[in-house]
Amino acid sequence: MLTQLLTKGQSKNTVQAIVAYVGDNPDRFAALLKIALSESPKTAILATWSMSYCVEYFPELLNKHYPALLKASSQKNASDAVKRSIVRSLQFAVIPKRYQGRVVDLCVGILEDKKETIATRVFAMSVLANLVHENPALKDELLLLIEDGMPYASPAYISRSKKILKQLHKLPQTLKD
């Protein structure tokens, strides 16, 4: 069934059908993820796009899959669409402590790379903002990264930046060493 859905072509309707099929079923999600990380680029794009919506509705589906997702999104040949969908997924999840360092490294690298797509950078910004609550020392670095990207940023980057900066400024000051 999943393979049939993935051959229907890239559309919001196809994504919705895949999300409805997978639901909160961990086995179906694992099958979708396996396809997303091992198939042709065209199929991988649709599969990761669908995966990101599954995670939006059922974030716990990611629990067993952090190593594979982090590996796939860190590869130099990862497509922009696949990387974007993986990072989009991470913004909905409560990331386990043992993966937070790798997620921070990934997202900081994305934010620093001006060649990354705006959407991927914006999602990375959101992931990092979510992690600041558990890692207050990350706040100052994130503030610098966001402000560094502002001068020539797109409207989408500026909009998300303003929201996150507002959130960050409401948080208590971090302790200085």
- Domain segments of the chain as ranges: 95-170
Q: What is the DSSP letter of 61?
A: G
Q: Judging by beta carbons within 10 Å of its beta carbon (0-12, 13-18, 19+), is residue 30 exposed, middle or buried? A: middle
Contact of 101 with 66, CB cutoff 8 Å: no
Separation of alpha carbons 176 and 94, rounded Å: 27
99-149 confidence digits (pLDDT tens): 999 999 999 999 999 899 999 999 999 999 999 988 888 998 999 999 888
| pLDDT confidence of residue 133 | 87
- In 77-166, beta strands by DSSP E: none
Structure tokens at 153: 């940023």
3-56 confidence digits (pLDDT tens): 888 888 778 999 999 999 999 999 999 999 999 888 677 888 899 999 999 999
Structure tokens at 145: 């990264």
Separation of alpha carbons 32 and 27, rounded Å: 9
| pLDDT confidence of residue 58 | 97
Closest CA to 22 of 45, 53, 67: 53
